[in-house]
Amino acid sequence: MNVNAFSSGGLRAFGGCLFVLLFSLAGISCAEAVPAQSEYVIGTVCTVNLYEKGTKAAYKDIFDRLREIEARMSANADGTEVDAINKSAGVAPVAVHEDVRAVVKAALRFAALSGGALDPTIGPVVKLWNIGSDDPRVPSPAELKAALPLVDWKDVVVDDAAGTVFLKRAGMKLDLGAMAKGYAADEVARIIAKHKIPRAIVDLGGNVMAVGEKQGGEPWRVGVQDPSSERGNHIGILPVKNKTLVTSGIYERFFEADGKHYHHILSPRDGYPVENGLISVTIVADRSIDADCLSTATFALGLEAGRKLVESLPGVEAIFIDTDFRVTITPGLAGTFRITDDRFTLKKD
């Protein structure tokens, strides 16, 4: 396969099958009480596999919670709490559930850490592109110029005492798409612990939480999908216990216009999809909200600044893949992450 196929218009060659999925590899010894369950919620297919002690009640709790989070946080539906915050931008603070405040606070923390590369107020720019809908389009430079001044995470006020979130200027819009799946994965892990289920794999559209370890004390082996092929082919394997892996990339949500590939991770600086030679970043961490914020933030920052940020955070690791299929890992993964596809090479410093 042509390793340059990811540059500019070359993505067309892969059509709609260009995505990365993290998946739990086979070899799991399981006496399943209730089979794995999947549902389309929070804008993606969510699959939960409770390998042991999984009950209908546990699955119900999990999927009820995911629907509750979607109902509070979707920026794509009327009547959610995020929608209410957006509609009251520049007018008044809005009382919201602590779920929403927790995600906004995490987003603001990582916005600060990334120097604004991650910005939860990217909403006006996201709406212009409309990527992921049936009707994506390339906005005009004038539209982007009008929207960009509304993007500034410093103009978000979270008041925990009052239980409110306020966007200071009219026209501002929150978009929690880069963070909420991570929060949701942490909530699913909490419910799994509450039900005293010792091992499980949670996959919220590629946002993976590996709970516990495999029976017998072995780590889960999580595969990092080959971005150039169908789901299921992996470029490498990472053994993990009680960790989350979250990937951001250019392969899953995108559209093409005039032979050009436009993906969904947008620069808060110029409003265009970030192009920095990366095709994906996978973050490995304890908390999925951190990993979700960081996957988007480090993708937007690029390899050097992204790696520096990850290395400054204890307990967080990353796998960066570039358009030439070179793979960069942070030091904590040396000796554990194993590349299994020889078209991909580990980049040495």
Tell me which residue has its CB nearest to ligand FAD: 43
- Please tell me the count of residues contacting ligand FAD according to CB under 6 A: 30
Buried (b) or exposed (e) across 139-165, using 16+ Cβ within 10 A?
Answer: beeebbeebbebbbbeebebeeeeebb
Determine which residue in the list 58, 100, 104, 178 makes contact with ligand FAD, applying CB under 6 A: 178
186 near ligand FAD, rule: CB under 6 A: no
Stretch (H or E) spanning 50: strand 44-50
- How far are the Cα atoms of 13, 44, 249, 323 from residue 9, in angstroms, in the given order? 8, 26, 16, 12
Q: Which span (48-56, 71-79, 194-202, 222-230) binds ligand FAD, by CB under 6 A?
A: 71-79
Select from Mg ion, ligand FAD, none the partner in contact with residue 328, using the beta carbon and a kind-dependent cut-off of 5 to 8 Å: none
Determine which residue in the list 11, 21, 22, 42 makes contact with ligand FAD, applying CB under 6 A: 42
Determine which residue in the list 126, 167, 178, 210 makes contact with Mg ion, applying CB under 5 A: 178
124 near ligand FAD, rule: CB under 6 A: no
265 near Mg ion, rule: CB under 5 A: no
177 near ligand FAD, rule: CB under 6 A: yes
Determine the number of helices (DSSP H) and then strands (DSSP E) in the chain: 8, 18
Sheet holding 164-167, edge to edge: 94-95, 164-167, 156-159
> CA–CA separation, 349 vs 331, rounded Å?
11
With tokens 């516990």, the residue in question is 212
Determine which residue in the list 76, 130, 242, 276 makes contact with ligand FAD, applying CB under 6 A: 76
Sign for the CA dihedral angle at 255, 260, 264, 270 comes to negative
Tell me which residue has its CB nearest to Mg ion: 296
Structure tokens at 210: 């590996």
Determine which residue in the list 172, 300, 309, 316 makes contact with ligand FAD, applying CB under 6 A: 300
Q: Residue 242 — left, alpha, or beta (φ > 0 → left; ψ -120 to 50 → alpha)?
A: left
DSSP secondary structure, 214-260, as one string: -TTSPPEEEEEEPTTS-TT-EEEEEEESSEEEEEEESSSSEEEETTE
58 near ligand FAD, rule: CB under 6 A: no
119 near ligand FAD, rule: CB under 6 A: yes
Secondary structure (3-state) at 63: helix
Select from ligand FAD, Mg ion, none the partner in contact with residue 122, using the beta carbon and a kind-dependent cut-off of 5 to 8 Å: ligand FAD
Q: Which span (54-62, 120-128, 223-231, 341-349) binds ligand FAD, by CB under 6 A?
A: 120-128
Determine which residue in the list 62, 85, 100, 118 makes contact with ligand FAD, applying CB under 6 A: 118
292 near ligand FAD, rule: CB under 6 A: yes
Sheet holding 234-240, edge to edge: 22-24, 220-225, 234-240, 338-339
In the bound complex, what is the minimum distance in angstroms from residue 263's beta carbon to ligand FAD? Answer: 9
Residues 316, 284: contact at Cβ < 8 Å? yes
186 near Mg ion, rule: CB under 5 A: no
248 near ligand FAD, rule: CB under 6 A: yes
86 near Mg ion, rule: CB under 5 A: no
Positions in the binding site for Mg ion (CB under 5 A): 178, 292, 295-296
Positions in the binding site for ligand FAD (CB under 6 A): 42-43, 70, 73-74, 76, 118-120, 122, 126, 132, 175-178, 180-181, 207, 248, 252-253, 264-266, 268, 292, 295-296, 300
